[in-house]
Chain A
Amino acid sequence: MRLAARFPLLLVASLLGAVSAAPAAEPSPILVRYSWDDGNVEAGPDTFSVYRNGRSSVQLSNSFRASGTQSVEFRDVAGDGDFPELLGYFPERRDGWLIVHFALLVTDPNEELNIALAGPQRFVLGRDGISLWLFTRDGNLVQMTDSIPKRLVSLKPFTWYAIDADLDLAAGRYNLQIFEEGSDKAVVSLLGQPNAASQPGSAVSLLSFVGSPGLDRSNVVYYLDDVVVASSREVALPPFVAPGRRQFLADQQAEETPAEEATENSATEASKAPDTAVLERRGDEAFRRRSLPEAQQLYEEALQTAKQPSTLFLKLSDVAFLRGDLATEKALREKIFGSLDPR
């Protein structure tokens, strides 16, 4: 089953055209684009994380798709103590326009799902928290606007819906259009809706698709396709250096920490017995020299005592990538960010 080829938001179409014609490193208005058909399905710090704990799952599927050959399938299981999530990352935006587009198909509209665009305060109502929040309730798609849940449309099962939200971030308002598969006329067309908690200037940097994160009461199965987040201004995103990331972590941290400060820290730490942080920092220095065996050894030693191993896993994944060991790279990265691989 496929969504009618014509997606109504011409702006998104033109933006997509613009980006496909431009080299990867050139400025582009596209912040996020997941079609699942172009091979760019790798989780990572500059793409997305996948959480599928408990009995829930998030995985690529070719059972249904709005375009191309694949979509992503979400399955939640009530009472399993967890929920499925795909959490997308993009550079923070606080003003200008932001365009969010995706296609959604639910198998049972009575089961709960939640979709939220949020900022650095993450998934709470308030400034820099959730800006756009759509969810299902009693068979309806509902928006949270001005902290009030408002019904949008009664969803039909096994039917694709194309959802377009244009957010004026400084004003804290958005326009919303929803198109049902097979129809050219919008089933929802709203202008100037206050954002979720009516917060002008609220920042956004995350896009999340989940089941029931609260009371764990959903058995939802739904499909997601053609996700696009675009900005009204062009953004110079660097190209990907490895799957899922645009910069190696040790290189990124070097830019974030002034050289003098790093030297002072190293001198202080060197006088003590080697501990996790010292070993990791020495590993970083070796990595930046691209002395990869030394970096790997130091990171692995640090891992023995690390209480929060995720950054070390990612750094070891960076080392594995540069050493050409792509299987290890993928395994280590997916320990942190998850995977869309069918299971």
Chain B
Amino acid sequence: MRYPRIVGLWSILLLSGLLVAASPNSLVVALIAGEDVAALKALGPQVLPEMVRLYSSGDTAQRRRIAGLLYRLSWKSSEAATALLRDVETEDVGLRISVQYALGRVSDQPAVVDALLRNMVGDPDPFLRDKAACALAYDQVHLSEAAKVRLYDGLIRALASEVEQVRAIAIQALGVHTGQRKGFFPEAPIEKRRAAIARWQKWLAEYKENL
């Protein structure tokens, strides 16, 4: 079981080495076109600048494909985050979703959390709001415990939204991170919601005290 895998890996590396020697950019182009995550991973994070360049110069389909690959590689890259952030409010639904999902996989920048919170709370399309909440719930893999304060603070503030769906996706995202609701139900009377938000705020204060 192990021997063929090693042979396979060496083949990829040798092939990659030969192709890189011939034309590094054409290799990355080919691997992106084939959505070959394993081969990109084998080449290492040094492929990121070329991927970002191809993203910035690509059409919508290419950008979506590269955003998907950046998501799967999950390598931290401020250049990738900067490029993706330019499309975080694009009207192309497919690209928007790919970008929102990829951002947390490449960055721990506060700007990423802020952009996703803005989309979650303020986008006119409830579907895109929901996808922004999904990105905040599942894809902020590089955030330190201190950096999560910004995320939690934004989600708790969203519990007070006048839009019930925003309240619902905010408590779902908080639930994914903490496993708790603290008695918050988006459809509950406002007095009960306010009491639950106060419990979340008290929780966040205690969270900050322990950093």
Contact = CB atoms under 8 A, between A and B. Distances in A.
B204 to A, nearest CB: 9
Given A149-B145, A215-B141, A129 B207 contact: no
Contacts, number: 39
A197 B178 contact: yes
A126 B210 contact: no
Nearest to B144: A137
A51 to B, nearest CB: 15
A308 B142 CA distance: 34
Given A214-B141, A215-B141, A147 B210 contact: no
B175 interface: yes
B10 interface: no
A147 B180 contact: yes
A198 B180 contact: yes
Task: Please report whether the interface of chain A is mostly helix, strand, loop or mixed according to DSSP.
Answer: loop
Contacts of A197: 178-180
A124 interface: yes
A106 interface: no
Contact of A126 (B141, B142, B175): B175
Contacts of A230: none
A188 interface: no
B155 to A, nearest CB: 13
A148 B203 contact: yes
Interface string B199-211: 0000100110010
Contacts of B194: none
A126 B203 CA distance: 16
B202 to A, nearest CB: 11
A252 B199 CA distance: 47
A127 B206 CA distance: 21
A196 B203 contact: no
B210 A149 contact: yes
Given A125-B177, A126-B175, A147-B207, 9 more contacts: A124-B179, A125-B180, A126-B179, A137-B145, A148-B203, A149-B145, A151-B210, A199-B179, A215-B141
